[in-house]
Amino acid sequence: FQTLRKTIFQDPDSFFKHFADFTEEQALALAHEIWTSINGKNLKENIEPTRARASLVLHKGADHKVDAVHLRKL
């Protein structure tokens, strides 16, 4: 979100232009709120409950890069 705020959000034609003017504190608060209400909810309600049945689990770090792969024997 911070990278987007400093790049594409600077485009005057961007739908998200108003985010470029947020302070860092406002941007982080909004990013946290969005993650919690959408991604966090999906993680808790849909992804975590099915993890035990998955044959392959990818773990991503804070930078969104895969940092671990777990393959279950079938």
User: What pLDDT does residue 48 have?
Assistant: 93
The first and second tokens of residue 33, run together, are 């709120």
In DSSP notation, 19-57 reads GGGS-HHHHHHHHHHHIIIIIIHHIIIIIGGGGGG-SEE
Tell the burial category of 20 from Cβ atoms under 10 Å away from its Cβ (0-12, 13-18, 19+).
Answer: middle
User: What pLDDT does residue 18 have?
Assistant: 82
- The H or E element spanning position 6 is helix 2-6
User: What pLDDT does residue 20 have?
Assistant: 82
User: What pLDDT does residue 64 have?
Assistant: 87
pTM of the model: 0.63
Find where tokens 């991604």 sit.
39
Could you list the pLDDT tens digit for every one of the 74 residues in the chain?
A: 778 888 888 888 888 888 888 888 998 999 899 999 999 999 999 999 998 899 999 999 988 899 999 999 87
